[in-house]
Structure 1
């Protein structure tokens, strides 16, 4: 072998070694990068409030699963459903009706894993600032505000119970508006944009507690019967081991633990309990009855 040939051979060996080292380093860095858990929620409150509520929970889930949690806010309810169906999300906070829509959109593969104990006996509050409105019957001829069209507690179930009481919003109310979110409905009624409205009990209670609404001016005049509402749902093809870790993490939350209680208070949860698709059969029936599903 000539000196020149030997030199070229040595350079090729060094290049190959460098390439191999680069590949191993790249692989090692990739292996050390935690998998991402992509999370979102229906925008039933202001985006800033959703971020505030879910940040501590996201950190807790990251610790429990070993995955990096990324929370992505969306602008409407349909976007969460579509993102679950197209595998852009792994976990989502849904209302009962949104879950039914996700179940249909994913051909039954979306899986509700847990709900707050409160969600098994959820209610909605009808509110007004008009002293002439004392009962649901007094809503005839009045302006009215629902939340978002796909909201379980701000639209679907209140509408269902109104129909059960013989009131058809489009026929019996002067106008029907959609505020887009529960806190926005309160703002509508407080500002006189609607003579009455409806929102979920949990948000109403929070707004009263934080003095963001004056109940002497905007008051509750009726409450719906109970129904199943919110849950945490995963996409159906998520790794079963991850689903188990997520489920176990929610069920392990203990209000006796101060750190747990702080994040549970943000979720307005006394505890989390398992849930199942069958719990939302009534929601699906109500949607069909109201003409919102075929």
Structure 2
């Protein structure tokens, strides 16, 4: 059991059975592992402290090893709140659709209304997606909305079947890993979400003299904060209100928003993700 306040450890294999045994006044939070564990923890710590203050509840972060684990944990009521990509939200919603209390999306960043992915390359001969024909390409996680599903969907719409177009496809597992692979020459091209790309560039973690954006996808809905359907509605409403109250004019709030790559949070609804569901069905990723 993790101790207050937010005693987090990267890579900690926390027993879900132990988490389930926690008291009802503990909010158990998780996130899809779309970045390195240390980065996920760095981003969450001030947000977790803020939620503790706003909810008057202990907040504990539950790290997971892969995307599927977050979906399973939400469906089994082992976590209360999760940061999900659009596709993982669709999976969680479908997995709980036949229950009396399906998963509920609460808020998304304003940026998630019109999210994009960036296709990058460090090959000086590559200036467009077509220039990557016959070369190697890296997606993120198979379950990533912005690192796999939507870029693939848009490629297919343009008549590009990745398995035939590229000489080899690999999955890095995370957006920052994709950028690192491309920069190191492990892949001729790759795709990652625009938010992580901007953050890596701002932090100087990618050499833009070498790695360049060669294409940007059309827009789509992406990330959101989702709660399990069985969560107390009073707590659920307080969580949503806490996110919506984050004000960029408040320096402490802005620090939290900046770590979340958010200008502000806005309310969202399940209907916003119907396009993601359709794309997943078209890609044969939903049964």
- TM, length-normalised to structure 2: 0.90
**In structure 2, how many angstroms separate the alpha carbons of the residues matched to 1:64 and 1:34?**
16
Asked if residue 202 in structure 1 is aligned to residue 202 in structure 2, the reply is: no
8 Å contact from structure 1 (residues 119, 230) kept in 2? yes
Asked if residue 117 in structure 1 is aligned to residue 110 in structure 2, the reply is: yes
Identify if the C-alpha distance between structure 1 residues 34 and 156 changes in structure 2 by more than 3 Å, giving closer, same or farther.
closer
8 Å contact from structure 1 (residues 34, 68) kept in 2? no
1:38 pairs, out of 28, 39, 51, with 28
2:146 pairs, out of 142, 150, 153, with 153
Q: Which residue of 1 aligns with 2:178?
A: 185
Pairs within 5 Å for 1:216-227: 216-227=209-220
Asked if residue 106 in structure 1 is aligned to residue 90 in structure 2, the reply is: no
Asked if residue 249 in structure 1 is aligned to residue 242 in structure 2, the reply is: yes
**Normalized per residue, which structure has more helix?**
1
Residue 104 (structure 1) shift: 0.9
Aligned-pair Cα RMSD in Å: 1.0
**In structure 2, how many angstroms separate the alpha carbons of the residues matched to 1:180 and 1:250?**
28
- TM, length-normalised to structure 1: 0.88
Pairs within 5 Å for 1:66-145: 66-107=56-97, 109-145=102-138
1:107-161 Cα distance to aligned partner (Å, 9 max, x none): 2600000000000010000000012221122221010000000000000000001
8 Å contact from structure 1 (residues 34, 66) kept in 2? no
8 Å contact from structure 1 (residues 34, 67) kept in 2? no
1:211-260 Cα distance to aligned partner (Å, 9 max, x none): 00011101100000000000000000100000000000000000001110
**In structure 2, how many angstroms separate the alpha carbons of the residues matched to 1:197 and 1:279?**
27
Q: Which residue of 2 aligns with 1:62?
A: 52
Asked if residue 288 in structure 1 is aligned to residue 281 in structure 2, the reply is: yes
Q: Which residue of 2 aligns with 1:176?
A: 169
**In structure 2, how many angstroms separate the alpha carbons of the residues matched to 1:63 and 1:34?**
17
Residue 290 (structure 1) shift: 1.1
Instruction: Name which one, 1 or 2, has greater alpha-carbon Rg.
Output: 1
8 Å contact from structure 1 (residues 43, 74) kept in 2? yes
Q: Which residue of 1 aligns with 2:12?
A: none
**In structure 2, how many angstroms separate the alpha carbons of the residues matched to 1:47 and 1:72?**
11
Residue 172 (structure 1) shift: 1.3
Structure 2: give runs of 5+ residues left out of the alignment. Answer: 1-22
**In structure 1, how many angstroms separate the alpha carbons of the residues matched to 2:209 and 2:247?**
35
